Structure 1
Amino acid sequence: MNPDNEAGRIAPTPPAADAQGSAIRCQVQDLRLRYQHDGFVFPLEAIDRGEAQRILQLFEAQQLRARGKSRGRSRQRPHLLFTWIDALVRHPRILDAVEAVLGPDLLCWNSGFFIKAPHDERFVSWHQDAAFFGLSEPRLCTAWIALSPATAESGCMQMLPGSHHLSRPHVQTFASNNMLSRGQTLADPIDPRHARPVLLEPGQFSLHHGLTAHRSEPNHSALSRVGLAIRYIAPEVRQTLSRRDTAVLVRGRDRHAHFELLDPPDADLSPRAVQRHRHALKLAQDILYTGLTARAGRARPEDGRTPAGSAGRSFADPGTS
């Protein structure tokens, strides 16, 4: 870690100065009230459609070059590997919106691509992200950025308004087509008539609270649905499942030093970036499986095997759609 990146350093990312960023700041109070009332806000403008297409093409090209396990691993915490994802994580329009709900000091805790291929039968069950993250408080905000159209047909996220006011019990199903690491789902049924579809065009994003109940259904369209989820936390949050966890300072100061602050990638897939990424994934995997009892026929990931029915899942990231 660069000594300049110690807790207390001022992050270099300035607030947005462009017209769209100023518009977001003018609407901060409305955004904050909607977020507090519903537990989510959408659609918000991050980048234009052309930039979204460029990022999607970079991602697709990288996935074609990747081999074996490195392909799946590079989808998790890609902001530690790629400069173009790091730039998106620090985009002023996104940070201005997140600052409106979390405050001026922001850490990027993790990020991950969520991909549904055309006619993909996989789904994400109703869940709350923060239930499995081990954070001391749900001061967690996810920015979900659409890189392709997120429609009802393609399996966009659906969110339950007001569900962020209460932490709910979950059960672990390990269902074969569930994209979540444990197939976790809310123990009590949700009436889908109360859900709101999060419809996004490429370049738009949504924000949702760590306790907002959400799901997504299969992709019945002929196009891939690709989104990048970026999870931001306030620096005062702690990791309760481990003495060690990582984050990246993206705005303001970290006065608490609860997380090991990692440097951004100096170049795409540089040796130092790959090393930091592996370190972060190892800690994240340990946190996710702390206290998890091995089920019959389902080995812990530290055994070097993959639990049955888990193909295509990430074991470094249990939530979002």
Structure 2
Amino acid sequence: MPQALTADEIAAFHENGYHAPLRVMSAAQALHYRGCLERFTARYPDDVNKLDQGASLLCPWVDEFIRLPNLLDAMADLIGPDILCWGVTLRLKQPDAKTFAGWHQDTAYSDIKPIVVIAALALSDASTESGGVRVIPGSHKWDTLPHKENFGTANMLSREQIIDADLDAMDAVELPLRAGEAALFNNAICHASGPNLSDDTRIIFIIEMIPTHAYQHEPRESAMLVRGQDAHHNFDVDPRPESEMSPAALDAWRRKIEIQASVLYRGAGHGTRAFRQGHHYTIQHCPSRSR
């Protein structure tokens, strides 16, 4: 029996490749976690880029919100009761009208089967104006399209990749989110997001969930059990962080990132650029925003 989604919503997800919005937490909770991120950026200004991959290994507060019942209940409706979190990525867009994510499919650089469901969880409002997510319904059923790398652009994707094929985006659907809401989508769907034209930072965490029976051929990666039992052991175990940026957490993060980088940057001329650059993030606020 479904726990969070209706039977029609589950069927629509598998047909169209997405479901949105899903209320994961209250606006007050979202503000709390935004505060956690702001304090992290103040304490570790040179390490915020580490949250670009493996954020749940470094911060107990990230590990906390990826286990919220509303999120896991919906995931269970889509992929079953035994769930691994494969990765958590911070995607910040400053209100500079520059940074964007080009049209892409995540399956271009990963081959986990049978399914990866992404939750794009907003800790700020993520409207069309502020660079929210857009998708092409049904495109998760297509073959993986060719992608090319456009280096030197404001594309926030790890390889600055975009789909290198004729793509009719006229049927694209915007998925605006309020703080505390998530958009769920199949990682094979064609998706993108525009620049942030608002006066507030857009804050989204990309949470990648897989069933415990999921697998990939090589290399062997790691994931964190967030619900149920893992009887398959196709992934090594990611440890939960006991404290923020602890030595043990950093060691686990480095191990995970080295393996993921070997997959993500396979054949890339610029190496692990996104993991080595010293990004400095600040979180700006809309002047009228209530705190």
Q: Deviations over 1:128-166 (max 9, x none)?
A: 11221232x241000111111111111111110111111
1:44, 1:293 → 2: CA distance?
35
For 1:164-243, what aligned pairs fall within 5 Å after superposition?
164-175=140-151, 176-242=153-219
Q: In angstroms, what is the RMSD of aligned CA positions?
A: 2.0
Distance in 2 (CA, whole Å) between partners of 1:217 and 1:56 is 22
Structure 1 segments unaligned to the other structure (5+ residues) = 1-21, 314-321
Give yes or no for contact 1:126–1:186 (8 Å, CA) kept in 2: yes
Where in structure 2 are there 5+ consecutive unaligned residues? Answer: 281-291
- The match for 1:270 is 246
1:93 aligned onto 2:93: no
Q: After TM superposition, give the deviation of residue 189 of structure 1 in Å.
A: 2.8
Q: 2 CA distance for matches of 1:105 and 1:146?
A: 24
The residue matched to 2:77 in structure 1 has which SS? Answer: helix
Q: Once superposed, which parts of structure 1, at least 4 consecutive aligned residues long, lie more than 6 Å away?
A: none
How far apart in 1 are the matches of 2:103 and 2:196? Answer: 16
CA shift, 1:260, in A, is 0.4
**TM-score between both structures, scaled by the size of structure 2:** 0.89
2:124 alignment partner, one of 137, 143, 148? 148
| CA–CA separation in structure 1 for the residues paired with 2:140 and 2:92 | 25
CA distance in structure 2 between the aligned counterparts of 1:37 and 1:108, rounded to whole angstroms: 23
Cα distance in 2 between the residues matched to 1:74 and 1:168: 27
CA shift for structure 1 position 269: 2.1
Shift of 1:293: 5.1
The residue type paired with residue 25 of structure 2 is: I
1:62 has 2:40 as partner: yes
What is the aligned partner in structure 2 of residue 83 from structure 1? 60
Cα deviation for residue 26 of structure 1 reads: 5.9
**Residues 25-64 of structure 1 mapped to structure 2, 5 A cutoff:** 25=3, 27-64=5-42
Q: 1:230 to 1:26 in 2, by over 3 A?
A: closer
**2:102 equivalent to 1:125:** yes
How far off is 1:275 after superposition? Answer: 1.5
Q: Secondary structure at the match of 1:164?
A: helix
Q: Letter of the 1:34 partner, please give it.
A: A
SS of residue in 2 equivalent to 1:35: helix
Give the whole-Å Cα distance in 1 for the aligned partners of 2:114 and 2:102.
20
Following the alignment from structure 1 to structure 2, what is the Cα–Cα distance between the partners of residues 218 and 34?
Answer: 28
Rounded to whole Å, the distance in 1 between the matches of 2:54 and 2:29 is 20
Count of matched residue positions in the alignment of Structure 1 and Structure 2: 277
Matched, 1:111 2:105: no
Identity rate, percent: 29
Cα gap change, 1:71/1:219 in structure 2, threshold over 3 Å: closer, same or farther? same
Q: What is the CA distance between 1:111 and its match in structure 2?
A: 0.5
Q: How far has the Cα of 1:285 moved from its partner?
A: 1.1
SS in 2 for 1:43: strand
User: 1:217 deviation in Å?
Assistant: 0.7
Instruction: Give, in angstroms, the shift of residue 60 of structure 1.
Output: 1.5
TM-score by length of 1: 0.81
What are the Cα deviations for residues 31-63 of structure 1, in whole angstroms up to 9, with x where unaligned? 211101110000111111111011011102211
Question: In the alignment, is the contact (CA less than 8 A) between 2:4 and 2:70 conserved in 1?
Answer: no
SS in 1 for 2:76: helix
How far apart are the structure 1 equivalents of 2:133 and 2:44? 28
Match of 2:257 in 1: 281
